[in-house]
Structure 1
């Protein structure tokens, strides 16, 4: 998938640059809203009120006798915290994949590499201790489905101006374009899933006797099982991250991979 995202980001950037050179409509930004200072001064208090409201909401659910509501209270707090962190860090995978090709800037790319480097051993521990069943999270789409899906998503996120994570916190900032993007992202995601199943592309092969699921676009690729352990899995994962980091640093110094 990551290879498809990289290729999609590069192709999407080239297509976006072509549209800037050949399409004139929509080039002028709409006028910004003129918000009175008396209103903007109240923004911190509005933010504080939202935080208090979320805490009260989660506390009421957590104290409920319904176990599902109690579990959802944790999800509410976790979702709020993740959204806050994503906004303050300006986390955006679209930027991480796009900027090295556009401006050679690799700060967000290195942040994503660091996040993956931290998350990889933690995920390995959770999978090893059987806290999480990996096959519940791995779609049967390796390698054709992952590559093609990553390619399409990479092109789309460049045109949209944000990935799923970046679009969410930009929606909170009031970017109307990202509200439209997220609507079609959700709608087309479910529609495409239904169409692909109807066409038998992602329908599970019921004749398969293996422990993993298979479809016409791939299978569930769980590297520790394919490589007989976590040793080679972590080594390959770490090696790819180091290679990616080296290429980003090289591009920052030479701009060899920029398309402008």
Structure 2
């Protein structure tokens, strides 16, 4: 967990260096178009991945290996994604979820980088504390 937090800090700082030194072509940047839909999708993905015991690709792989639980997971994944997309399009929710949200636009680049680094450091400190105390461990 600490390694993931460190990787987040390093990638954020590396991105900031590339962004501010013009070492990368501006046409290759990710545009600030991720909205509430991205947040909702990420949350749904995380919950589904936790319940299924793996992501979509991993579930398909293990279903191919013959794990029956993952057959149901893959079928529900396909059905759920198809129905969610259909309903979101028919109800107009798809357009509402596409509103642009970009952290540097809200906080400025310094504030956004500072917030990401602070969250990652807090995450690493919590993980270290939890390893010592086992307070939030399931086993």
TM-score, shorter chain, exceeding 0.5: yes
Query: 1:196 — aligned with what?
Result: 88
How do 1:221-260 residues align onto structure 2 when only pairs under 5 Å count?
Answer: 221-228=101-108, 230-259=109-138
CA RMSD of aligned residues (A): 3.2
Task: Determine if contact 1:127/1:134 at 8 Å carries over to the other structure.
Answer: no
Q: 1:248 to 1:149 in 2, by over 3 A?
A: same
Q: Structure 2, unaligned stretches of length 5 or more?
A: none
Distance in 2 of aligned mates of 1:193 and 1:235: 35
Distance in 2 of aligned mates of 1:126 and 1:185: 37
More helix by share: 2
Correspondence 1:171 to 2:62: yes
Q: 1:251 to 1:173 in 2, by over 3 A?
A: farther
Correspondence 1:146 to 2:25: no
Post-superposition Cα deviations, 1:212-231, rounded to whole Å, max 9, x if no partner, equal: xxx2x573221112223x22
Between the two structures, name the one with larger relative contact order (CA 8 Å, sep ≥ 6).
2
Distance in 2 of aligned mates of 1:226 and 1:218: 17
Task: Determine if contact 1:126/1:132 at 8 Å carries over to the other structure.
Answer: no
Identify the match of residue 135 of structure 1 among 14, 20, 32: 32
Correspondence 1:113 to 2:5: yes
Q: Matched residue of 2:80: which SS?
A: helix
Post-superposition Cα deviations, 1:115-144, rounded to whole Å, max 9, x if no partner, equal: 3233323444566652223235x2x217xx
Deviation at residue 241 of structure 1 after TM alignment: 0.3
Post-superposition Cα deviations, 1:84-141, rounded to whole Å, max 9, x if no partner, equal: xxxxxxxxxxxxxxxxxxxxxxxxx3343233233323444566652223235x2x21
- TM-score between both structures, scaled by the size of structure 1: 0.42
How do 1:1-260 residues align onto structure 2 when only pairs under 5 Å count?
Answer: 109-125=1-17, 129=22, 130=26, 131-136=28-33, 138=34, 140-141=35-36, 146=39, 150=43, 152-164=44-56, 166-167=58-59, 170-171=61-62, 174=65, 176=67, 177-203=69-95, 215=96, 217=97, 219-228=99-108, 230-259=109-138
- TM-score between both structures, scaled by the size of structure 2: 0.70
